[in-house]
Amino acid sequence: MRIALLGYGKMGKIIESIAISRGHQIVARIDKDNAADLQTLTNEQVDVAIEFSMPAVAFDNLSTCIKNGIPVLSGTTGWLDKMTDVENLVKEKNGTFFYASNYSIGVNLFFKINDFVAKLMNPQQDYKIDMEEIHHTEKLDAPSGTAITLAEGVINHTERKEKWVNNSSEKTDELSIISLREPEVPGTHSVHYRSEVDTIEIKHTAHSRQGFALGAVLVAEWLPAQKGMKNMDDFLKL
């Protein structure tokens, strides 16, 4: 399979290594130094594009791929206010786009566990709910996309929570997310239910970026046969 990498930082390089080990060919490596080269890529040259770039350029990268008929998956966070525009473009061009805030298989199973626990805890008014996420110091956006997905799961299943905030909050309708940045931390996410008598915690700790990268390559192998907007629920048949 012919893969274009959009974004060639640490994640892009790990994805490259895994893709090559699985017999795939990297036909383009697009980064800030050669960003204009993306405009020349077509679906005759590229089977799928994997986009892990920066929030400021993600939307333009994705739009170009969709317009050029290249199936594309993205793991970049911090641009989701333009998701509706991407959806409209996918419909207009009969394109293929896949988004996940996290491509780790374990994290996506964790999302489902989070939903289930939130449903169970919804009637338990004595428990206060908060979240914490820890990432490496190079991560520019906060909270992480994974934390936002977890927060949305809690809010969707907890009647007293209406929105998340990226700070400590004592307001009943706000879900507090504390974002910490530490050297060499791939990603840790935890959701806490605290009462006067006990605390219930669910937690996912990534030991390396390998799980994220492998998940992205597995999705890339699956994606070219698909059409429309896709996500991890579609891929994992959850």
Which amino acid, one-letter code, is at 79?
A: W
Q: Residues near 123 by Cβ (< 8 Å), separated by ≥ 6?
A: none
Active-site entry in 135, 161, 204, 230: 135
Q: Classify 124 as helix, strand or coil.
A: coil
Strand ranges of the sheet holding 2-6, from the earlier edge strand across to the other edge:
25-30, 2-6, 48-51, 72-74, 96-99, 228-230
Q: Residues near 107 by Cβ (< 8 Å), separated by ≥ 6?
A: 146, 189, 204, 206, 211
Active-site entry in 82, 93, 139, 157: 139
Q: Residues near 168 by Cβ (< 8 Å), separated by ≥ 6?
A: 130, 176, 178
**Known catalytic residue: 139?**
yes
71: tokens are 């199936």
Number of alpha carbons in the 13 Å side-chain half-sphere of residue 227 = 4
Residues with active-site annotation: 135, 139
